[in-house]
Amino acid sequence: MIAKASSWLLRKKWILAGVGVPVLILAWWEFRPEKLWINQRVSEPAPFASSSDSQPLYTGLLTGKAHPTSGRASIYQVGDGKRDLRLTDFTTSNGPDVHVLLAQSTDQNLSKTFVKGELDDVELGSLKANQGDQNYDLPDSVDLGKYDAVVIYCERFHVVFGLAKLERF
Amino acid sequence: MIRAIKIAAVFAALAVALGLQPSLYAQDNMKHENGLKTLETGTFHGQVHKTSGRATIYKEDDGRLVLRLTNFKTSNGPDVHVILIAATDANDDANFLKSNTQRVELGKLKGNEGDQNYEIPAGTDLARFQTVSIYCERFNANFGAAPLEKF
């Protein structure tokens, strides 16, 4: 019986190979399983000549908390180690004693009202205007890996008007 | 006489109100890349085929649009393309063929890792094509999507 089966296999093996090999090749071409562990890395230059012009480092969209706030917050490298924060398409409520701060996005204080001393923050100055594009200088030593949120904070009423989580540009 | 004083008082009150009004616009211009404008940007999300990084659309001074991927990473796969889709976002493994989503082909993915640029065909309406997708043509599967927002 066994001998009979093996002889059948022997006779048909060319047919099996003729069907099996193309099927295997087709399956390989379809799924390209080797790509699961082979990476293809590219590193094209930016479409502009990287120069002394300011380059964005981080960016994020502002969302309203206590007051409707919108726009974009971006951190730029402005040559010779200086960085600044730029708000664009910016709108928030007008209010008394409003400040721009950098804080840690994970800080629990940000989800409630808090006195400024309770927050681990970097003060960037009073909000220059409640609408429009505006720049704020960053102190040289700020660690943006740690302070990864821009906060529009009303000091008089201890509330967060708006918040932007910064992500690498 | 009294009428004139009343009118004067109204004008004075108006002047004071206008004078106290906070300046609504603080405009200052910051120099940007030479002739190159950043139009839109967004970050990739995709769990099934772990996709991450940033997609940014630049406009060159001659009007050409360029899509640039930075800090980019996705799965390697067969026949993967970069496309723009007429949607505000896309779910993992979305099948654009089945959902009849309109798309603009930008070319084959040059590498599954690293910074790379793709030219966007002239006349592409970015107001309609709002999302970048890394799309596996062979399996009609969306590896990852980046919804774009104005920069």
Question: Cβ B111–A133 below 8 Å, yes or no?
Answer: no
Reference A57, options A153, A150, A152, A160; nearest CA is A150
Domain-embedded: residue B8:
no
Instruction: Per residue of chain A (169 residues), give pLDDT as tens.
Output: 555 666 776 778 888 888 999 999 998 888 888 888 888 888 888 766 555 567 889 999 999 999 999 999 999 988 778 899 999 999 999 989 999 999 999 999 998 888 888 899 999 999 999 999 999 999 998 999 999 999 999 999 999 999 999 999 8
For chain B, the distance separating the N- and C-terminal CA atoms, rounded to the nearest angstrom, is 58
Domain-embedded: residue B66:
yes
With contacts defined as CB-CB under 8 Å, which chain B residues touch A74? 151
Phi, psi of A165 (to 5 degrees): -85, 125
Q: Is B31 in CB contact (< 8 Å) with chain A?
A: yes
Give the position of tokens 């059948």. A8
Domain-embedded: residue B87:
yes
Question: Cβ A74–B151 below 8 Å, yes or no?
Answer: yes
Domain-embedded: residue B14:
no
Domain-embedded: residue B129:
yes
Provide the whole-model pTM: 0.74
Question: Cβ B150–A89 below 8 Å, yes or no?
Answer: yes
Cα gap B148→A120, rounded to integer Å: 32
Alpha helices (runs of H) in A68-124, residue ranges in sequence order:
none
Reference B104, options B118, B88, B80, B120; nearest CA is B120
Range of the domain at B123: 37-150
CATH number at residue B69: 2.60.40.200
Domains identified in chain B, total number: 1
| Interface mutation vs chain B, best among A40, A82, A83, most B CBs within 10 Å | A40
Cα radius of gyration rounded to whole Å, chain B = 24
DSSP secondary structure string for all residues of B124-137: --TTT--EEEEEET
Å between A76 CA and nearest CA of chain B: 10
With contacts defined as CB-CB under 8 Å, which chain A residues touch B150? 72, 89
Class of domain A55-168: mainly beta
Cα gap B132→B148, rounded to integer Å: 7
Length, in residues, of chain B: 151
Residue A136: partners with Cβ closer than 8 Å, 6 or more residues away = A84, A85, A86, A87, A100, A124, A125, A128
pLDDT digits (tens, 9 = 90+) for B49-89: 899 999 999 998 888 999 999 999 999 988 999 999 999 99
Residue A157: partners with Cβ closer than 8 Å, 6 or more residues away = A66, A95, A96, A113
Domain-embedded: residue B137:
yes
Q: Is B111 in CB contact (< 8 Å) with chain A?
A: yes
pLDDT digits (tens, 9 = 90+) for A106-155: 999 998 888 888 899 999 999 999 999 999 999 998 999 999 999 999 99
Task: Give the rounded distance of the alpha carbon of B149 from its chain centre.
Answer: 4
